[in-house]
Amino acid sequence: MTIRLTVAQATVRFLAGQYSERDGEERRLIPGCFGIFGHGNVAGVGQALLEAKLTGSADMPYYLARNEQGMVHAAAGFARMNNRLQTLACTASIGPGSTNMVTGAAGATINRIPVLLLPSDIFATRATAPVLQELEDPRSYDVSVNDAFRPISRFFDRINRPEQLPSALLAAMRVLTDPAETGAVIIALPQDVQAEAFDWPDELFARRVWHVARPEPEPVAIARAADVIRAATRPLIVAGGGVLYAEASDALRRFAETTGIPVSDTQAGKGAVPWDHPLAVGGVGSTGTPVANALARDADVVIGVGTRYSDFTTASRTAFQRPDVRFVNINVALFDAAKQSATAVVADARRGLEALSEPTAGYRVSTAYTREFTEHTEAWTKIVDAAYHLGHQPLPAQTEVIGMVNEVAGPRDVVVQAAGSLPGDLQMLWRARDPKGYHVEYGYSCMGYEIAAALGIKMADPSREVFTMVGDGSYLMMAQEIVTAVSEGIKLTIVLIQNHGFSSIGSLSESLGSQRFGTRYRYRNPGTGMLDGDKLPVDLAANAQSLGADVLRTSTIEEFRSALAQAKRAERTTVVYVETDPLAPVPSSESWWDVPVSEVAAIDSTNEAYGVYRERKRKQRQYL
């Protein structure tokens, strides 16, 4: 039996029938579609979504986004919140609409998060070429702007004939549900092909369940890893995002408690163990805690679970200083498991940790080692308390704002962030109590991710309050999805921090001898010719209000706390506006990040910074 549908109608009907399954629990793989319509998809995918709704032929809810990049961030936030077992589709019009999704696609792939993108493409028939917004490449008529997706996607296909669609859709689902290979999946749909009819076999639209595997570790790999761990005197666990995606927090906690090994975490893994657990030592690396970084420097064995060892995690390969340090890595992807010349255990994080329990039975770290990091953790707790209640004047410190959000947020509430100085301060200071309570995108650190992702997170779990913290720089990049949240009746609490510039890069610039050049939002000064005049009269709170959000302005930390509590009780998206001092003190991570400094310069501050850089660079190791 066959059914005659357009390519777009077939795509929508197929997607509505896809499910994922892990541990016996089934769920819709793609329960909805974000989209912005234009001349590339309005009569194709747009018509198909409308027809599905009006006829009931496919359950595929449509959500109108306001920015194409933003809707990919929202889909990524939704997918990450669902442990990569669900995601959302995103459709955009030809040309700029589709290429606006490239940044979001790159972020998803870098972070190993599944998203399905349906960019519209030029005419397959080339009947009217060149069409509006077509890239004319004299080397080939087969090239379009959508080819920009190829290097930053995990699967890419262009459907030039209806017959090509079934195999492409099946391959797309395979990649979306593969924990080791997932990322951005792209099916480019030429605008004429979208509207072309074809006789499709009924079985294309049958209900399909895609099993998301928990790869079991090889016994030999477990035995080798256990040998390394049993020989350790100063071991340290680094918990990455793979722990959360595999729902392995309990297995990690049991393994740590049995062995006594302290647990540090990455940005993606924060919350794997609650902050107040006796074995939790906080973030490791450039934006980590001095507790975890002190342990990392002297660790003889590092057990990485579900981490890809970004330069922030390894402090640009300066975090682990012992010449004889060895690594054991549990990761679903061999690519990551083999990093640092590790003893690799290719496995699901939960299965790998469970398999290690028997061969490491009886092993436990020394009492002296436990006492060492316990005392250090207790001292650090007092430093964080002080940073949370700094009493900085005349403007609050950012650490105080973080502290207030942390105190007002409930145990299951979610904090969302991605760029600027906030990710560093959050990893160092935030007290995560739930595996899903900390959502910081720091693989791509994409400005503008925060509000859009918060939308997807709230859609994934409406029972949680979502606090998205965004600086003025990131807010100005992308705040449009406030409108989407308002239109859909989705309640977010947005903490909008105004510090009149790029705080993170300003601090980095100063440390590199570049004197915060180009990092302040200021008028151009006629006297100097530089952007160092008075502050700009930009009213971001008024802007947020104009987008439909309720806005609470605050000027003191006491007002901020009261407004935050009010926003939490509210039923509508609410922005809490606060101005902070970008020069307020922040505790040191006692770590480093490799950002090269000019080797020659006519500026004294740059030459001084280069001397410091050379000293730090000498500690860099290859972990071979």
The three-state secondary structure class of 136 is coil
CA dihedral 105, 111, 116, 119 (to 10 degrees): 0
Confidence class for position 517, pLDDT limits 50, 70, 90: confident
Handedness of CA 255, 257, 260, 263 (dihedral sign): positive
Lowest mean pLDDT among 7-16, 27-36, 132-141, 320-329: 132-141
- Report how far apart the first and last C-alpha atoms of the chain are (Å, whole number): 60
Q: What is the pLDDT of residue 514?
A: 80
Confidence class for position 485, pLDDT limits 50, 70, 90: very high
Q: Which of 21, 23, 75 is nearest to 208 (CA)?
A: 21
Q: What is the pLDDT of residue 623?
A: 83
Q: At what angle do helices 68-81 and 481-488 cross, to 10 degrees?
A: 60
Per-residue pLDDT at 239 exceeds 80: yes
Tell me the average pLDDT across 395-421: 96
Q: Which of 175, 166, 245 is nearest to 210 (CA)?
A: 175
Do the beta carbons of residue 424 and residue 592 sit within 8 Å? no
Q: What is the pLDDT of residue 379?
A: 97
Per-residue pLDDT at 374 exceeds 80: yes
Per-residue pLDDT at 521 exceeds 90: no
The one-letter amino acid code at 43 reads A
Q: What is the pLDDT of residue 548?
A: 97
Confidence class for position 571, pLDDT limits 50, 70, 90: very high
Q: What is the pLDDT of residue 507?
A: 78
Per-residue pLDDT at 504 exceeds 80: no
Tell me the average pLDDT across 495-509: 82
Per-residue pLDDT at 83 exceeds 90: yes
Per-residue HEC secondary structure of 397-412 comes to CHHHHHHHHHHHCCCC
Structure tokens at 95: 């040309």
Q: What is the pLDDT of residue 511?
A: 79
Q: Where are the domains of the chain?
A: 2-211, 219-378, 389-500+536-579
Quickly list DSSP for 474-506: HHHH--THHHHHHHHT---EEEEEE-SB-HHHH
pTM, 2 dp: 0.96
The partner residues of 121 in beta bridges, in order of sequence, read: 190
What would the CATH number be for the domain defined by 219-378? 3.40.50.1220
Q: At what angle do helices 102-110 and 68-81 cross, to 10 degrees?
A: 20
Please state, rounded to an integer, the average pLDDT across all residues of the chain.
95
Q: How many helices (H) and strands (E) does the chain have?
A: 23, 23
Q: Which of 25, 17, 27 is nearest to 87 (CA)?
A: 27
Do the beta carbons of residue 298 and residue 262 sit within 8 Å? no
Q: What is the pLDDT of residue 463?
A: 97
Tell me the average pLDDT across 467-483: 95
Tell me the average pLDDT across 354-361: 97
Per residue in 269-304, pLDDT (tens digit) is 999 999 999 999 999 999 999 999 999 999 999 999
Q: What is the pLDDT of residue 350?
A: 98
Per-residue HEC secondary structure of 325-394 comes to CEEEEEECCHHHHCHHHCEEEECCHHHHHHHHHCCCCCCCCCHHHHHHHHHHHHHHHHHHHHHHCCCCCC
Q: What is the pLDDT of residue 455?
A: 98
CA distances from 378 to 91, 371, 373 (A): 50, 11, 9
Structure tokens at 42: 């309005």
Confidence class for position 532, pLDDT limits 50, 70, 90: confident
Structure tokens at 340: 């640092």
More confident site: 598 or 117: 117
Q: Which of 382, 374, 366 is nearest to 281 (CA)?
A: 374
Q: What is the pLDDT of residue 510?
A: 76
What is the fold of 2-211?
Answer: Rossmann fold (3.40.50)
Per residue in 19-54, pLDDT (tens digit) is 999 999 999 999 999 999 999 999 999 999 999 999
> What is the phi/psi pair of residue 118, to 5°?
-120, 75
The one-letter amino acid code at 416 reads V
Q: Which of the following CATH numbers is that of domain 389-500+536-579: 3.40.190.10, 3.30.70.2610, 3.40.50.970, 2.30.130.10?
A: 3.40.50.970
Tell me the average pLDDT across 340-364: 97
Q: What is the pLDDT of residue 240?
A: 98
CA distances from 8 to 50, 119, 143, 175, 224 (A): 11, 12, 22, 21, 51
**Total number of residues shown for the chain:** 624
Residue for token digits 């979610």? Answer: 414
